[in-house]
Structure 1
Amino acid sequence: MSMALYAGSTRTSETVKGRLTRHSFSFGPHYDPANLGFGPLVCHNDDLLDPATGYAEHPHSELEIVTWVLEGALVHTDSTGASHVVEAGRAQVLSAGSGIRHSEVADRSSGRCRFVQAWLVPSAAGTEPSYVLGEAPPPASGLVEVAGGSGLPIGTAGARLMVARLAAGQAVALPDDPRHHVFAATGAVDLGEHSLRGGDAVRLTDEGGQQVRATEPTELLVWSFAT
């Protein structure tokens, strides 16, 4: 059993014109052999984009790419023909499969855009690329599955992304799975002996059932893995 805090202040970052990206794992030039991933999760980036800036068209393959928009809106286009504006409070899943190209740019009319994007290793290689956009999650007092489980389909077996919007004093219990990645996107929470502020994460192994309690209004993102 383990529970390790990864403070947001320790994350590596990249700044280019109009974009700030904070990396939770080894990424690009920020290579760290001790931090290559957590279970099937190999990337967990936090991006802040000025309007009309972001990522021009580029390729991916053999990844499940899950995006949750926290603020503003993100314009997504890809080589499957999908073209959507993804507003705050919605998830998208891009299954790169055997190969896909896509672009992601902050919507010009919606102000700055902040989104968290995770990359996961798929359970099967060589699949047909696909894209799916979720609706805004219904109001709920607990964790809402937005990808995997009852949410959008993911090609990584046993992976679920859950989101909770908590008022101060509200708490949620982590599912009884063997592995969790808990990220305080905004606000502050207490988890075990750790206090998380916005941008902090905790990685848990064999610690299912733990209570996460908000100490101020918080948007919480939880990845849960069955293996």
Structure 2
Amino acid sequence: MLSLLGSYPWQGSSDYFLTSGDKIRFFFEKGVLDKKGNFLIPKEKSISKIGHALHAYDPVFKQITHSSKVQELGRKLGLERPVVVQSMYIFKQPGIGGEVTPHQDATFLHTEPLGRILGFWIALEDATQENGCLWFIPGSHTNGITRRMVRAPSGASTCVEFVGSEPAYDDSQFIPLPIKKGGLILIHGEVVHKSELNSSEFSRHAFTFHVMEAKGTTWSKENWLQPTPELPFPSLYT
């Protein structure tokens, strides 16, 4: 079990996670397996997400990621050399869809300079306060970051570790952003956001991918996710 910042409940080995950047792999919610590895609830209701290269290898999600609408939006935003770094299908299962604690995407996808990561979050079902919609702190993208997740040294007991400190966020600062099926939320890499546990009887499916403006940008070699010879970060505009 990997529990990164308490936000992303991945089931599986460290290697399975670290080598998933150029593959399509499956990750399960926390607490769905017993000590022997048997499912406590139906397998199809246990999955948390699929990632992290749907944009490259799945025809449906490749078409969505590189669609004319997305490319047009990228150009309107002034992105000159955007590349796709990762993609995920998130299930947020009814009753068990895990909480995602307050975080900034740049903590996990670090660039120099900052401000070069942009998340595209597409609601595949209605996202409500009851089933775990996103919450944001307005204006928090202007404060930089104080914490980073980096690959741990060889021989460490975990595959990643955190450097720096995480601020204490005031819950009263967050505002919910419910959205209808088919809607798009653009997420600045430094904006603080979260989602609550889905305690409702309705799932909250979403497809999300992250884009980096590659022009004048350095991708940190300490990031858990790295381009590979098999899958260099593809251009959004191809």
More helix by share: 2
**Fold match (TM-score > 0.5):** no
The structure showing larger relative contact order (alpha-carbon pairs under 8 Å, at least 6 residues apart) is 2
* TM-score (structure 1 length as normaliser): 0.39
More strand by share: 1
* TM-score (structure 2 length as normaliser): 0.38
